[in-house]
Chains A and B, each alone.
Chain A
Amino acid sequence: DQQVKQNSPSLSVQEGRISILNCDYTNSMFDYFLWYKKYPAEGPTFLISISSIKDKNEDGRFTVFLNKSAKHLSLHIVPSQPGDSAVYFCAARRNQAQKLVFGQGTRLTINP
């Protein structure tokens, strides 16, 4: 089941710079997209979401962009901080469904 894909298993960014995490999906029925962050020995923590009727949603240092025609979304973190080092999961949901479909995750490392 590869409906949600994060093709970069890892990403390393210098502190203060922008981190860009990418996610692609194949199911055009998805109408809500979420980003979760996960630290070791903890469960995923919700970061930010976007509805398919929007193309951008911003919350502080975090911005999610959605390109429906390309079936692509990205998470921008600026400026990146050492505490942002974690695994980031993209997830998607179909309208009227409860289940989230997750990508494989991208391990982000912020270097001081």
Chain B
Amino acid sequence: EPEVTQTPSHQVTQMGQEVILRCVPISNHLYFYWYRQILGQKVEFLVSFYNNEISEKSEIFDDQFSVERPDGSNFTLKIRSTKLEDSAMYFCASSEPGESSGANVLTFGAGSRLTVL
């Protein structure tokens, strides 16, 4: 069964450092997403990406965050200068093109755990 793969599975970084989290979405999917889950809290939407541009983003997704699809297969999330509160599990997801009123079923990766010290 096709799956979304994420690397690294766990990254530890110092506050202020840049971090890049990588994702390989399912090959025929056209919508890509990043969500995060801070320990003990709910899964929160960060950003959606379609047709090589951001289609929607949350208030969490400020200027410190950026996304890129550099080569047609990878989808990356960059945090420019990490803060302690960026520590979380980051989930990448992708979905098929479909009517916008459809189920929009997202397939999630296993997540990348980011620990900021």
Contacts and interface: CB of A to CB of B under 8 A. Distances in A.
Given A98-B31, A98-B50, A98-B56, A103 B42 contact: yes
Contacts, number: 64
A102 B44 contact: yes
A96 B110 CA distance: 27
Nearest to A31: B101
B12 interface: no
Interface in B1-57: 4, 31, 33, 35, 41-45, 48, 50, 55-56
A89 B41 CA distance: 12
A29 interface: no
Contact of B42 (A31, A49, A105): A105
A104 B41 contact: yes
A34 B107 CA distance: 12
Contacts of A43: 4, 91, 93, 108-111
B106 A100 contact: yes
Contacts of B56: 97-99
Contacts of A41: 110-111
A83 B4 CA distance: 22
A32 interface: yes
A46 B26 CA distance: 15
Contact of B105 (A31, A46, A98, A104): A46
Given A46-B107, A104-B41, A98 B4 contact: no
Given A41-B110, A102-B44, 4 more contacts: A44-B91, A51-B103, A93-B104, A95-B101
